[in-house]
Amino acid sequence: MTKRTLEDFKTGQVLLIDKPLTWTSFQVVNKLRWHIRQTFGIKKIKVGHAGTLDPLATGLLIICTGKFTKKIHEYQAQTKEYTGTITLGATTPSYDLESDIDKTFPIDHISDELIYNTTKQFTGEINQKPPIFSAIKKDGKRLYEIARAGETVEIKHRQVTIHQFEITKINLPKVTFRVICSKGTYIRSLAYDFGLALKSGGHLSELRRTKIGEFSVNDAVEPLKFVAELNNECN
């Protein structure tokens, strides 16, 4: 095992972390930063992530330390791959399971063929409206803060690119998928819009980020495993 030093973390490390369910991306960064500081007895070190994952999503987070935090924008711009599940026949205000179902819709008319054909509408460059429950800022406030305060706000559509949208399993009301997409794509919005296009409703019930550029979640470790590994290296 190669022992990492304080100088390694200051010069810059790229850490591949598999974010657990319910953890926020900010919690992962805080956990790693705190442990690096405690391990080496220092007061400050730069640590940041290259692309937020929602608390109800799992999967790949790229964490940069020290001087490598300057590379964060470079990693954020790379293509992402996700796998997940869309539940048809119901919508939620957050487009996922963070909020309760607000409307239900029929799904009797939805065939496998219709599902496969509808994915074609969501391949290539598409216009997408981000969810109101998102970290985007509007007039200095996060959209999720506005939503939780019960306020309404106009959200502009943005153009994103879906390179691949593959249906991997159909077991209605659940549809399992794999998506390769550009920076800025909201898979929650894709799930919601997909439900609408099927003349029904839909929300994201499971999501896992599997790749960012050439980085794979198969090479990532969970935060607590990183902590244990660093402890072993330094003991």
Q: What is the 3-state secondary structure (H, E, C) of 10-75?
A: HHCCEEEEEECCCCCHHHHHHHHHHHHHHHHCCCCCCEEECCCCCCCEEEEEEEEEHHHHHHHHHH
Active site residues: 54
Three-point CA angle 129, 182, 130, nearest 5°: 15
Provide the pairing of β-strand 124-128 with 158-171.
Answer: antiparallel
Helix (H, G, I), strand (E, B) or coil at 192: helix
Q: Using CA atoms, how far apart are residues 125 and 152, in angstroms rounded to an integer?
A: 28
**Which has the closest alpha carbon to 103: 92, 113, 95?**
92
Contact present, 217 and 59 (Cβ < 8 Å): yes
